[in-house]
Amino acid sequence: MKPLIYKTKQMENKLILKRYKVPEDLLMDILRILFGNNIKHQIIGIQERQNIVLLNVNFDLNSIKSREAKENMEGILTDYSEYMKGLLGDTVLMLDEEDDENEF
């Protein structure tokens, strides 16, 4: 009988939940990323006045595709924030889970 080899299997939970505020200008691009890569997401609120959508997105960091999609999304939101500096007011596009969603 050949010797058995131990193989480590990382069972740490690499599923993360990220929350984003997506303005109307970027909504189609973001949805294209989410639908195109079958990434689980949920629209949890809409701010009608400023046309902003609050999204919860589940990323599986074990998947390369999911990681790339996260990078793609955050890149777009970061670039937009940079160009719109001072125009978005206090609105932050990438939120932590603890942030309040009262305005929604």
Partner 1 sequence: MESTCLHCGEHFTAIRSSKKYCSDNCKQMAYFKRNGLVLSGTTELEPSLKMPVVSVKPVTTDEVNVKYDKEKDTVKYANEELNVKYDKDERSEFEFVPLADAEEEEEETEIAESNNVREIEKDTQKVEPIKSSLNIEKEQQEENEPRYKWINSKLISLIEKKYEQNSGGVKIKASFDYWEYEDAKRIVWVNTRFRCLAEGLIKLSNYSRIDQHTLLCITDAFKRLVTSTTFNRLPNDYPFKELIIELFLGLNKTLEEKRHLKMLAFKLTKERKAQLICIRHQLMLHTSEIKFTEIDFVEEKPHQEKAQQFISNKNETEKKSDWRYRFEALKKQGLLKSQQQNKAT
Interaction site with partner 1 (CB under 8 A): 1-9, 11, 23-26, 28-29, 32-33, 36-37, 48-51, 63-65, 68-69, 72, 76, 79-80, 83-87
Contacts of 32 (CB under 8 A, 6+ apart): none
Least separation in angstroms between residue 37's CB and partner 1 is 7
- Label residues 55-81 b or e (16+ Cβ within 10 Å = b): bbbebbeeeeebeebbeebeebbeebb
Least separation in angstroms between residue 89's CB and partner 1 is 9
Least separation in angstroms between residue 8's CB and partner 1 is 7
Q: CB-wise, 56 or 63, nearer to partner 1?
A: 63
